[in-house]
Structure 1
Amino acid sequence: MWTHILGFTALPHVGGIVGSLYTRTEVSTWYKTLKKPAWRPPNRVFPIAWTTLYTSMGYGSYLIWKDVGGFTSAAAVPLGLYGAQLALNWAWTPIFFGAHNLKLALVEIVILSGTVAATMVSWYPINKTATLLMVPYLMWLTLASSLSYCIWRDNPDKEE
Structure 2
Amino acid sequence: MTRMEWYNALAKPSWTPGGGTIGLIWTLLYPVIVVSFGWVFVRAVRGQIPRAVAVPFAINLVANLCFTPIQFGLRNLPLAAADILVVLGTIVWCMVAVWPHVRWVAVAQIPYLVWVGIATVLQLSITAANG
User: After TM superposition, is the score higher than 0.5?
Assistant: yes
Partner of 1:134: 109
- Per-residue displacement from partner, 1:32-88 (whole Å, max 9, x unpaired)? 10011011111101111112111111111234356x474327341222221110000
How far apart, in 1, do the equivalents of 2:61 and 2:44 lie?
21
1:149 corresponds, among 97, 101, 124, to 124
Question: Paired residue for 1:56?
Answer: 32
Instruction: Supply the AA of the counterpart residue of 1:124.
Output: W
- AA aligned opposite 1:132: V
- Among all aligned residue pairs of Structure 1 and Structure 2, give the percentage whose two residues are the same amino acid: 28
More moved, 93-102 vs 78-87: 78-87
SS across alignment from 2:16:
coil
Query: What is the rounded CA distance, in whole Å, between the counterparts of 1:113 and 1:40 in structure 2?
Result: 18
1:108 counterpart residue number:
83
Q: Which amino acid aligns with 1:145?
A: T
Q: Per the alignment, do residues 51 and 75 of structure 1 end up closer, same or farther by CA in structure 2, a change over 3 Å counting?
A: farther
Question: Deviation digits for residues 90-112 of structure 1, max 9, x if unmatched?
Answer: 01111111111101111111122
> Residue type matched to 2:75 in 1?
H
Q: TM-score, normalised by structure 1?
A: 0.74
Which one-letter code corresponds to 1:130 in the other structure?
A: V
Paired residues of 1:63 and 1:127 also in contact (CA < 8 A):
no
| Residue 26 (structure 1) aligns with | 3
The TM-score normalised by the length of structure 2 is 0.89
Q: Give 1:42's match in structure 2, choosing from 1, 15, 18.
A: 18
After superposition, the Cα gap between the structure-2 partners of 1:148 and 1:113, relative to the gap in structure 1 and judged at 3 Å, is same
Contact 2:71/2:80 (<8 A) preserved = yes
- Matched with 1:22 is none
